[in-house]
Amino acid sequence: MYDVIVLGVGGIGSAALYYLAQRGAKVLGIERFTPPHDRGSSHGETRIIRKAYFEHPDYVPLLHRAYKLWSDLETQTGKRLYQPVGLLEVGPPQGMLIPGVLQSAQTHNLELDLLSSEDFHARFTGFRLPEGYQAVFERDAGFLYVEECVRTYVQEAQRQGAQLCVGESIQDWRIENGIAIVDTDVNRYTARRLVVCPGAWAVNLLRDLKVPVRVVRKHLYWFQNQDARLRAENGGPAFFYETPWGCYYGFPQINELGVKAARHSGGEAVVDPLEVDRSSDPVDQSQVQMFLRTHLPGVSQTTTHHAVCMYTLTPDEHFLVDRHPDYPQVSFAAGLSGHGFKFAPVLGEILLQFTMDDGSCHPIEFLGVNRFRNN
């Protein structure tokens, strides 16, 4: 019998596995695909990390901790996981993005460069600022190498004694006489505690919570780029724009694939994440191309690569991080709503604390499951 079984070893499960192994737990991770893989929500080279969180200021204390833990992981392994290229954010002054960023920065006293039109055009020559829009630059932001982060957590977890079972599909879990029983298509495993990190499969592995999560298909595109200013090594930043046609974001060029860009808004419903359509969508692609033509005109319209990924959205698009209301020995991080990767270390630490310390020291009440069950 294991002390803990982690169900799903993707972005968050790999971090949980690591922190549990580091604490000395006898821990097993069960995963269908070999991590890191491109069948869930943690692939596609890069993920933005930022502190002035437009989604809600309550995430900021968690982000402070996440930054510290990413940095510790880099120190421990000698690997480069984070690139501090900064983040340029542009939107209407009365929109969702800029007021949200400013509110988080003000509440938590974060450093932010408020850019006048002159500053913008002098500093970010590869970008366009629409008339009447506001721009801010967060220096203490950048991106994470997503696959390398997952790989590192898994390797370090195994080095510290975690066991990993890859290639098995979890059919179900249950609690019997206080013991967790996990059935896969191959084996049965038992443990004292469970940590559930299901990504797009929350509907299956956390179905009894009855939270109506939605999975949507999202596209990532890489575009040929001749504009040297948009290369990371030349100071090209990550970017996020709120436009009348939705939110778009992207990354400076880091390799021969060029500039990566995508549409954050929208997405088509996914019925079965295992069968998600991985072909590109000409409508979505033309929207991203139009965004680039308008705002980063130095990037070519020619795509070099495309990938499909999935967002798992809760009704309010905030995470679901809690202990199971009926089984205190089961905790979970789910419904990360398209913005969860940067939090992987702090979510891993929270899941460790739920599992081994009977409660977390982090301020996460706003992410609890009761907000959906009490209505």
Ligand X SMILES: Cc1cc2nc3c(=O)[nH]c(=O)nc-3n(C[C@H](O)[C@H](O)[C@H](O)COP(=O)(O)OP(=O)(O)OC[C@H]3O[C@@H](n4cnc5c(N)ncnc54)[C@H](O)[C@@H]3O)c2cc1C
Catalytic residues: 43, 46-47, 260, 264, 309, 342
Q: x/- site string to ligand X, residues 22 to 61, per CB under 6 A?
A: --------xxxx------xxx-x--xx-------------
Q: Which is nearer to ligand X, 36 or 126 (CB)?
A: 36
Q: What is the DSSP string of 251-316?
A: E-B-STT-EEEEE-S--EE-S-GGG---S--HHHHHHHHHHHHHH-TTEEEEEEEEEEEEEEE-TT
Helices (H), 160-256: 202-205
From candidates 102, 170, 194, 211, binder to ligand X by CB under 6 A: 170
Q: x/- site string to ligand X, residues 128 to 157, per CB under 6 A?
A: ------------------------------
User: Which amino acid is it at 22?
Assistant: Q
Whether omega before 36 lies within 30 degrees of 0, making that bond cis, reads yes
Q: Which residues in 183-202 contact ligand X (CB under 6 A)?
A: 197-201
Q: x/- site string to ligand X, residues 307 to 346, per CB under 6 A?
A: --xxx------------------------x-xxxxx----
- Shortest CB 181 distance to ligand X, Å: 15
- Chain residue whose CB lies nearest ligand X: 10
From candidates 2, 6, 13, 83, binder to ligand X by CB under 6 A: 13
CA 248, 253, 256 angle in degrees (round to 5)?
125
Q: Which residues in 262-291 contact ligand X (CB under 6 A)?
A: 262
- Shortest CB 150 distance to ligand X, Å: 7
3-class DSSP state of 149: helix
Q: x/- site string to ligand X, residues 87 to 126, per CB under 6 A?
A: ----------------------------------------
Q: Per rule CB under 6 A, is residue 169 in the interface with ligand X?
A: yes
Q: How many CA atoms lie within 13 A of 207 on its CB side?
A: 8
Q: How many CA atoms lie within 13 A of 346 on its CB side?
A: 22
**Tokens at 317, concatenated:** 């698009």
- Shortest CB 317 distance to ligand X, Å: 11
Number of H helices and number of E strands within the chain?
A: 9, 20
Distance (Å, rounded) from C-alpha 171 to C-alpha 279?
28
**Tokens at 35, concatenated:** 């991590």
Q: Which is nearer to ligand X, 48 or 292 (CB)?
A: 48
> How many CB atoms lie under 10 A from the CB of residue 375?
6
Number of residues lying near ligand X (CB under 6 A): 36
Binding residues for ligand X, per CB under 6 A?
8, 10-13, 30-33, 40-42, 44, 47-48, 169-170, 197-201, 204-205, 218, 220, 262, 309-311, 336, 338-342
